[in-house]
Amino acid sequence: MIVEACEITVRRGGADVVRGVSLTARPGEVLGVIGPNGAGKTSVLRALCGLDPLVSGQVTYGGRTAQEIGRSAFGRTLAYLAQGGRIHWPLRVAEVVALGRLPHGAAEADTAVARAMAAADVEGLRDRTVGTLSGGERARVLIARALAVEAPILLADEPVAALDPYHQLQVMELLRTGARTGTAVITVLHDLTLAARFCDRLILLKDGRALVQGPPSEVLQPDQMAHAYGVTVETGVRDGEPFILPWRRCGVPRPLQETSL
């Protein structure tokens, strides 16, 4: 299902935090949303899932608005993984993941929950209460809950922020696999190498506006990174895949090289 945002503007506290942003996410691809702190990345995702009202513009899902789809059907259309999501009840892990099936009722609940828990590597935690989990374990449980929806659209806001490197790669592989099976995936990322490796397209935001959109090779150019983030970058290729490393803040002198006496 195609997600399209056309010239959307979001206002918060009297200020426009998203300004005329347009984007398209297609089934089978991962669209990465990148940009510095305060660029409007989370606000864009919240607008896409209907949590933040639009001042102007429109979002459609397969050519229909959320109102046209209807509330109950919309819950099956889109899964949203919020940034730093919390779990406020003393539930077992399996019960938390099962919450992702609420929009579907009882249909295939056990099977879908089992698939999601296996994919997020939380099967061994199923009988633990969420209050006993580490931050990374809790993040993976919330990822499993989003996967359990089995929606054609998945929005993930910084899904790897609390994870160790192994599970960061695992989650990004999950998102890419989900896209390859027909899901439209939109994810906010701060790690530019993960964005370069796992995203099919990127949209770079700054001050609520879209600076550039396109394949990672076009978006992650040194001049764009300097303008958006104020940093220089080092780039390369390993095993046929790109990496990009923030190297130095723009305008900061290089450290003096030590000389041997």
SS3 147: helix
pTM for the model: 0.90
Mean confidence (pLDDT) of the chain: 91
Beta-carbon contacts of residue 50 (< 8 Å; ≥ 6 apart): 59, 66, 74
pLDDT at residue 255 above 80? Answer: no
Residue range 88-98, pLDDT digits in tens: 788 999 999 99
Residue 108 is predicted with a pLDDT of 63
For position 260, what pLDDT does the model report?
Answer: 47
Tens-place pLDDT, residues 171-203: 999 899 989 989 999 999 999 999 999 999 999
Q: What's residue 258's pLDDT? A: 45
- Helix locations, 49-127, DSSP H: 66-69, 71-77, 93-98, 109-119
Rounded CA-CA distance 49/100 in Å is 15
Instruction: In whole angstroms, give the CA distance from residue 221 to residue 244.
Output: 10
Predicted local confidence at residue 159, as pLDDT: 92
pLDDT at 257 over 80: no
Residues in the chain: 261
pLDDT in tens, 100-134: 888 886 656 788 899 999 988 999 999 999 989 98
CA distances in angstroms from 101 to 8, 32, 112, 203, listed in the order given: 30, 26, 8, 31
In the block, which residue shows the tokens 């300097």? 226
CATH fold of 3-249, please?
Rossmann fold (3.40.50)
Q: What is the pLDDT of residue 256?
A: 59
Could you tell me the residue ranges of all domains in the chain?
A: 3-249
For the residues 235-253, what does the mean pLDDT come to? Answer: 90
* pLDDT (0 to 100) of residue 87: 76
Instruction: Kindly report, residue by residue over 35-90, the tens digit of the pLDDT.
Output: 999 999 999 999 999 999 999 999 999 999 999 999 889 999 999 999 877 777 88
